[in-house]
Chains A and B, each alone.
Chain A
Amino acid sequence: MEQFEPKIIALVCNWCTYTAADLAGTSRLQYPANIRMIRMMCTGMIDSKYILKAFLSGADGVFVGGCHPGDCHYIDGNLKAGKRIPGVGKILEQFGFEPDRLKLKWIGASEGPEFQKYMTEFVDTIKTLGPSQVRDRMIL
């Protein structure tokens, strides 16, 4: 049987997690190729629609990476994300999406190794969960 390769959307903050990803790259730290990264200016601008759309379009997991509390370049955008995203997760859960498919993590700009670690862990989690229910259904 062919191995399941999840499609994962990562919505990451320009100032921290994205820079951490860069650092991981320049330090030659490998992370799974399943991650499709989308750079945002801040986690506070992540509209719930982005996450819902990703899942409804067949993403197997969504990862959100932002600055540690206190470090947000827009003062408290990450606090907004910290409040909003669990709510979106709770809604998705009611429709049968496993809670583990949506992850929010704070990864600072210097945390290249942490970035690698979290990405690897997340991909493993999703692999264990298997493909999202949206994959081969007619989800409208």
Chain B
Amino acid sequence: MSTYMYKTKDQNPIDAVKTVLSAMLAKSQVDAVFVAARTPYAKLPMPALITSADKMDDVDPLAPAAPLNAARQASSILKYETGKKIALVLRPCEERALIELVKLNQCDIGNAVIIGMTCMGRMENGTYLKCLDDHEDLSISFYVKPDLQAHITTTCKSCDKFLSPNADITIDVTGMKDGIIGFLPQSEKGETLLSGLYLAREKTSTYREKTIEDMLKTRQKEKEQVMKAAKALLNPLENFQKTVATCLNCYNCRTACPVCYCKECVFLTDIFAHKPEVLFQRAKKKGAIKLPQDTSMFHLTRLSHMAHACVGCGHCSSVCPSGIPVADMFRAVAEEVQRLYQYEPGKDMHERPPYIAYREKNTFIEQGEDR
């Protein structure tokens, strides 16, 4: 919407973000800020709910790490209308997941201010901590040094949705190699907020567009390769058996999934808690079975529940204790399912998910086609 951005004067980027967020609180533009911050107990940033402008010291949304997709935590604060105005600093994949949760009536963001970012990616937790050992200022140097950027996750490397189109404000990091950070208003709401903060207003840098264009090219190319490799992990089914051979059925991937929101997940019900007789019967049928059972059933069922809504954040891979590339597989399947339903999760707040809008766009019904 806008061709100009706001910036703070001569501050390092992290301080600039803190200045803007604290000013929003101090001026009572918002009641609280939801943003990644270091805690006294860990170097990895976790989502924090901050209500006091002087508690901004450890805020670190630019850290190239995210132990979880913050959408579900954000939705727990926005479960229902509380009358509180909250500014949420989210990565693009978190924003998309939050939008899906809104559509599923899990939360309400009518009163929220979404602050997105031009996302350069995140590292796996371990990688981040290792890099932090050598670079104390990692949240800044990451944006300056391409060799550090090379450490982001496979999913991030191949993510082509690194912008925050639905945010009210975007934190623009594309100028960080020159030490500049910008705040781009993307909605009326964002514009009003930023203009009330007395920041310097200037034209958007020309390299923003160029940087985004280059990034998109690289990422799309990478995505093609990752998706192609992923297909071979699934098809034929025997390949998939190899891919998930050491799956523990721990359901970490499901827990980490921001769009797997069910209060009572079917995998935690009696349906999958088999009696010994059932296991004996299965063993007898084939002569031998592997335990845990139902690994394939788990992954395929979960896909049938959420593939249309997969935002491709990669957190399922990050949390897998067996190093299974869950995200690569799920993204590859999701791409096909989303193409089938012509549905892009997180893109449009008003577009209803396919299984809710089953009366609409039902070509199968309309044309009397059969499967």
Contacts and interface: CB of A to CB of B under 8 A. Distances in A.
Interface string A88-112: 1111111111010011111000000
B234 A79 contact: no
A139 B296 contact: yes
Contacts of B234: 94-96
Contact of A86 (B231, B271, B340, B368): B340
Interface in A41-92: 48-49, 52-53, 56, 69, 76, 78-80, 82-92
B351 interface: no
A134 interface: yes
Interface stretch (B36-44, B218-226, B317-325, B330-338): B330-338
Contact of A140 (B290, B340, B354): B290
Contact of B359 (A76, A97, A99): A76
A133 interface: yes
A96 B236 contact: yes
Most A Cβ at <10 Å: residue of B236, B240, B340, B371? B371
A101 to B, nearest CB: 10
Interface string B278-317: 0000000010111001111100110111011000000000
Contact of A87 (B235, B301, B307): B307
A132 B303 CA distance: 21
B281 to A, nearest CB: 12
Contacts of A137: 237-238, 241
Contacts of B52: none
Contact of B303 (A69, A91, A103): A91
Interface residues of A, number: 38
Most B Cβ at <10 Å: residue of A56, A85, A95, A105? A95
A86 B364 CA distance: 8
Main secondary structure of the interface of B (DSSP, over half): helix
B304 A87 contact: yes
* B: interface residue count bin: 35 or more
Contacts of A133: 236-238
Contact of B300 (A82, A95, A105): A95
A138 interface: yes
Contact of B295 (A79, A134, A140): A140
B207 interface: no
Interface string B227-257: 0000100111110110000000000000000
Contacts of B235: 94-96
Interface string B330-364: 00110011001100000000000011001100101
B365 interface: yes
A83 B308 CA distance: 12
Most A Cβ at <10 Å: residue of B235, B286, B304, B307? B304
A94 B299 CA distance: 13
Nearest to B290: A140
Contacts of B308: 87
10 tightest CB-CB pairs across the interface, nearest first? A96-B236, A48-B304, A83-B358, A96-B235, A82-B364, A82-B365, A104-B371, A94-B333, A52-B300, A140-B290
18 contacts: A48-B301, A48-B304, A52-B300, A53-B297, A56-B296, A79-B358, A80-B355, A87-B304, A92-B300, A95-B236, A96-B234, A103-B370, A104-B364, A133-B237, A133-B238, A137-B241, A139-B296, A140-B294
Interface of A: 48-49, 52-53, 56, 69, 76, 78-80, 82-97, 99, 102-106, 133-134, 137-140
Given A97-B237, A138-B241, 19 more contacts: A49-B271, A83-B354, A83-B355, A85-B371, A86-B364, A87-B308, A88-B304, A91-B303, A94-B336, A95-B235, A95-B240, A96-B237, A102-B371, A103-B371, A104-B371, A140-B241, A140-B293, A140-B294, A140-B296
